[in-house]
């Protein structure tokens, strides 16, 4: 099913380029745009980004080309974007973690103030998952079980590790934390019951419909509409959250006209049926529209909160 959709998307994309409309000839943009994606083709950001490019192209009347610049969870792409002087013709679509978290732990050549956050169109997913064959199936039960037994947890980033480590200390758990090679490496560990619970940044969407994996809690600030019964860590009384927004990001100093047009295109996409179908239906990311002002403050607030967690 997923495959056919991707194939269909690829075909639509190929034809989309051939049929470029020329309705807004006098308005910005006057030449093709480039959307940068900081991950390899095939991941959730790439799938969403390619559809978004397609929809934005429809609105802006110029082709929106998609370029993958993978590496270090988008840090490579942000490094290049910070030095980009393309007057808004090059923008990035992706999560904000590379800005709110990566600069804290590693030495990267960009900072949060190098960019403007035009609009968020989807909310990132950060879940704590476990296998349905385990003797527990909610976060409280995990904690209860952990007070009696030694537990294991599979991390994916230093951030989720820090949060879980803090919770384990509060609750007095005997917890061993193992590294995984991302979502693909996490799934076999959870399904094979090698670890008791794990972090998932979206991979769970493949396994929860079949009932093999269950989401115990969300690390995000709000519940997911696709798992309405699953509480967030905040609701459970732990003062931690990982927030991540799939945002359209440009380097500082681009003309206002370009910004306005890009924001308008993003708003158009957030109500577009094709984008919603792919983002919500395939990847289980809720589609939203968060305007620039709110995003600018959100990104800085998340960064401050993350620094606090990592400072422990």
Partner 1 sequence: MDFSIVGSAIGEALTLDSFIGIGGGVLLGYIIGVIPGLSRSVAIAIAIPLTFYMSPYIAISFLIGLSKGTAAGSAVSAILLNAPGEASSAATCLDGYPMAKNGRPKTALKIGLLASVLGDILATIILIFVAIPFARVALLFGPYEMAAILAFALVFIAGLSSGSLFKGLAACGLGILLGTVGLDSQTGMPRMTFGYTELMDGFPLIAVAIGTLALSEMFLQAERLRTERHNMSVKINDNPDDRLSWPEFRRTIPTIMRGTGVGTFVGALPGLGPSVASFMSYGMAKRASKTPERFGKGAPEGIAASESADNAVIPAALIPLFGLGIPGNVSAALLVGAFAIHGITVGPLLLREQPELLYSIFAGMIVASILMLILGWFGLKLFAQITRVPPHVVIPIVIFFCIAGMLLQGYGGFGLIILLAFAVLGYLMKKFDYSFVTFLVAFIITPMLELNLRQSIILSRGDPMILLERPIAVFFIVCTILALIALAVRTVKVRKPVAEAPAD
Partner 2 sequence: MARHSFWSGLVVIVIALLALNWIIPGYAGSNPFAQIPPDLVPRLASWLMLICGLCIVTGAVYDMVRQRIPLFNSNIDWPALAWASWPFAYVALATWVLVYVKITYVGPLIIALLLYLLGERRWYILVGCSIVPVAMLYVLSVYMMRVGVV
Task: Note the residues at the interface with partner 1 (CB under 8 A).
Answer: 3, 6-7, 10, 13-14, 40-43, 46, 67-72, 75-76, 79-80, 105-109, 150, 152, 157-158, 176-181, 184-185, 187-189, 191-192, 194-195, 206-207
Identity of the residue, 194 or 235, whose beta carbon is nearer to partner 1 in the bound complex = 194
Nearest Cα neighbor of 248 from 121, 126, 77 is 121
- Site map 10..39 versus partner 2, x via CB under 8 A: ---xx--xx-------------x-x-----
Q: What angle do CA 68, 73, 74 make, to 5 degrees?
A: 45
Helix (H) or strand (E) segment spanning residue 167: helix 158-171
Identity of the residue, 53 or 295, whose beta carbon is nearer to partner 1 in the bound complex = 53
Identify what 17 binds: partner 1, partner 2, none; CB under 5 to 8 Å per kind: partner 2
Identity of the residue, 34 or 87, whose beta carbon is nearer to partner 1 in the bound complex = 34
Is there binding between residue 271 and partner 2 (CB under 8 A)? no
CB of 67 to partner 2, least distance (A): 5
CB of 236 to partner 1, least distance (A): 26
Burial of 137 (0-12, 13-18, 19+ CB in 10 A): middle
Contact assessment for residue 129 and residue 200, using Cβ atoms and an 8 Å cutoff: yes
Identity of the residue, 134 or 206, whose beta carbon is nearer to partner 1 in the bound complex = 206
Is there binding between residue 274 and partner 2 (CB under 8 A)? no
Identify what 137 binds: partner 2, partner 1, none; CB under 5 to 8 Å per kind: none
For residue 18, report the phi and psi dihedrals to the nearest 5 degrees. Answer: -70, -35
Is there binding between residue 71 and partner 2 (CB under 8 A)? no
How far is Cα 229 from Cα 215, in angstroms, rounded to an integer? 10
Identity of the residue, 28 or 101, whose beta carbon is nearer to partner 1 in the bound complex = 101
Distance of CA 43 to the CA centre of its chain: 10
Is there binding between residue 263 and partner 2 (CB under 8 A)? no
CB of 158 to partner 1, least distance (A): 4
Would you mind telling me the total number of residues written for the chain in this entry? 312
Which two tokens mark 183? Answer: 């979502």
CB of 299 to partner 2, least distance (A): 28
Please tell me whether residue 258 adopts helix, strand or coil conformation. Answer: helix
How far is Cα 204 from Cα 191, in angstroms, rounded to an integer? 11
Residues pairing with 175 in the sheet: 151
CB of 267 to partner 1, least distance (A): 28
Identity of the residue, 201 or 261, whose beta carbon is nearer to partner 1 in the bound complex = 201
How far is Cα 120 from Cα 266, in angstroms, rounded to an integer? 8
Is there binding between residue 65 and partner 2 (CB under 8 A)? yes
Residues pairing with 177 in the sheet: 153
> How far from 125 is each of 200, 244, 304, CA to CA, in Å?
8, 7, 20
Segment near partner 2 (CB under 8 A); pick from 63-71, 115-123, 137-145, 191-199? 63-71
Please tell me whether residue 102 adopts helix, strand or coil conformation. Answer: helix
Identity of the residue, 140 or 161, whose beta carbon is nearer to partner 2 in the bound complex = 161
CB of 83 to partner 2, least distance (A): 14
Residues 6 or more apart in contact with residue 14 via CB below 8 angstroms: none
Residues that bind partner 2 (CB under 8 A): 13-14, 17-18, 32, 34, 53, 63, 65-68
């Amino acid at each position: 099913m997923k495959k056919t959709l991707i194939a269909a998307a690829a075909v639509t994309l190929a034809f989309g380029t051939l049929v470029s409309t020329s309705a807004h000839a006098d308005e910005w943009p006057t030449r093709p745009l480039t959307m940068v994606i900081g991950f390899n083709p095939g991941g959730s950001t790439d799938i969403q980004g390619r559809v978004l490019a397609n929809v934005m192209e429809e609105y802006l009347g110029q082709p929106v080309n998609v370029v993958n610049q993978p590496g270090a969870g988008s840090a490579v792409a942000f490094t290049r974007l910070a030095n980009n002087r393309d007057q808004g013709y090059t923008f990035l679509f992706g999560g904000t973690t590379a800005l709110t978290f990566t600069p804290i732990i590693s030495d990267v050549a960009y900072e949060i103030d190098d960019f403007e956050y035009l609009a968020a169109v989807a909310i990132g997913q950060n879940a704590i998952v476990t296998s349905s064959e385990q003797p527990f199936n909610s976060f409280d039960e995990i904690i209860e079980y952990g007070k009696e037994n030694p537990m294991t947890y599979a991390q994916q980033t230093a951030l989720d590790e820090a949060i879980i480590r803090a919770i384990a200390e509060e609750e007095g758990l005997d917890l061993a934390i193992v590294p995984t090679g991302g979502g693909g490496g996490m799934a076999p560990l959870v399904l094979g019951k090698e670890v008791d619970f794990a972090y998932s940044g979206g991979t769970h969407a493949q396994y929860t419909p079949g009932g093999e994996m269950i989401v115990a809690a969300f690390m995000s600030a709000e519940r997911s509409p696709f798992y309405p019964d699953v509480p967030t860590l905040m609701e459970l009384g732990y003062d931690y959250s990982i927030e991540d927004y799939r945002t359209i990001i440009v380097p500082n100093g681009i003309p206002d006209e370009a910004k306005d047009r890009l924001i308008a295109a993003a708003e158009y996409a957030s109500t577009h049926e094709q984008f919603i179908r792919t983002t919500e239906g395939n990847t289980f990311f809720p589609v939203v529209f968060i305007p620039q002002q709110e995003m600018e403050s959100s990104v800085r607030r998340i960064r401050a909160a993350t620094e606090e967690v990592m400072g422990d």
